[in-house]
Every structure is written in structure tokens, then in C-alpha cells.
Amino acid sequence: MKNFNYLFIVLILLSTGSAWSQSFEKGTKVASLGIGIGSSLGSFDYSTQIPGISLMYEQGIAEAGNVGIIGLGGYVGYKSFSLETNSGTLESKSKWNYTIIGVRGIMHFTGIDKENLDLYAGLMASYNLLNYSYEDNSGFNSGNTGNFGNAAGLTLFAGARYYFSDNLAAFAELGYGVAYLNLGISLKF
């Protein structure tokens, strides 16, 4: 997270005060990389964790009258955490790996006066994969290793991108993926 803060500050310093035309249009393509804050995945004290990481891609596919542009895209998110316990001579480690794969429909609102701001909201249909593993020093494995809790999901989300140049933006997005809040960078091409 500390490195992300440095990257964000550098992006602000490199940007100039002028505004670029940043309206999301039919045919626009955007790839985003984010780090998640807050999650419903893992509801107990864990020993170590990898924060939620998300990779998103979208493309503008149709105009929606005066309201905005409709985009279609994909989402891949990953989060991992582990729990280590010690009880007498027994030491054990449990590990959970979550992967979320989704398809997103997005509405970009074009009636915003600020040219370098892209506001959007959408719906994601996803498949959530959970891989769990357990090991201990007793040589006994309980057999609780494999894929558990895999399920389909449907999620609402809303976000904003602020462009520092024609093709580079910082974004913030609220919704449910691997995290409730995703912060990151976007590249428009």
C-alpha cells in the first residue's frame, strides 16, 4: 500500500493543470489494476494475508442517448489469507485463496461538466472460486483440502476515474468483488 501511495503522488506531480477530453466513447478501451480495501472474505483473525488485487478491462460498445455510454468488460480478482495455530505440540496452517472471475456491464455518465472525470456504475455477474488447504505437523491431514464454496454471484458497483493525461487515470470503485473499495490506476487506449 505504501508503494501505491508513492505512485499516486508521482502521478499527481507529473500531471499538468490543463484538462483533456476524457469522455468515455463507443470504442474506448480501458484496463485497470486495483488494490482492495475491506472485504467480507475471511471473517476471523488471520496470520497473513494478500490484499485483494483486481484486474479489469472494458470497452465502450453502445451509446445510451443523452445519458451515457454502455461498456462491457471483464474482471479478475484475487485475495489470499492464512491462519496459523499452535496448540501444545500441534502446529497447523490453513490457507484460503479466493479468485473471482466476472463479466461487467457498465454505464458511463457523459453529462458531467468536468472533462477529466469519468463517473460510472454497473452490474457484474461472477463466479467465485475458493481453494482451501490445511496442513499440520502431526502427519495427519483431515482431508479438508480442495475447492469449497464455489458459487455464482451478482454485484452492483459504482466508481470514478480521474484522468491526469489523455490515457492515465486513478480510480476508486465501491462494490463487491474481492474488496468493498478498490483503488488503482487505469490506462485508456
- Report how far residue 131's alpha carbon sits from residue 98's, in angstroms, rounded to the nearest whole number: 7
Residue 62, domain member (yes or no)? yes
Could you tell me if residue 80 is inside a domain?
Answer: yes
Indicate whether 85 belongs to any domain: yes
Q: Is residue 41 part of a domain?
A: yes
- Residue among 23, 119, 107, 29 nearest 70 (CA): 107
- Asked whether residue 178 is domain-assigned, the answer is no
Full pLDDT tens readout for the chain, 189 residues: 454 444 444 444 333 333 344 468 898 999 999 999 887 665 556 667 788 899 999 999 999 988 899 999 999 999 988 888 888 888 888 888 899 999 999 999 988 778 889 999 999 999 999 888 888 887 766 556 666 678 899 999 999 999 999 999 999 999 877 888 999 999 998
Assess if residue 170 is contained within a domain: no
Determine phi and psi for 11, rounding to 5 degrees.
Answer: -60, -40
- Which of 26-43 are b and which e, b meaning 16 or more Cβ less than 10 Å from the residue's Cβ? eebebebebbbeebebee
Domain range enclosing 35 = 27-164
The whole-angstrom separation of Cα 136 and Cα 123 is 41
168 strand-pairing partners: 187
Domain tally, the chain: 1
Question: What pTM value is reported for the model?
Answer: 0.79
Instruction: Retrieve residue 120's grid coordinates.
Output: 460510472
Residue 63 Cα distances to 34, 67, 68, 186, angstroms: 27, 8, 6, 22
Residue 112 lies inside a defined structural domain of this protein: yes
Measure the CA dihedral 79/31/125/148, to 10°. Answer: -20
**Domain presence at residue 88:** yes
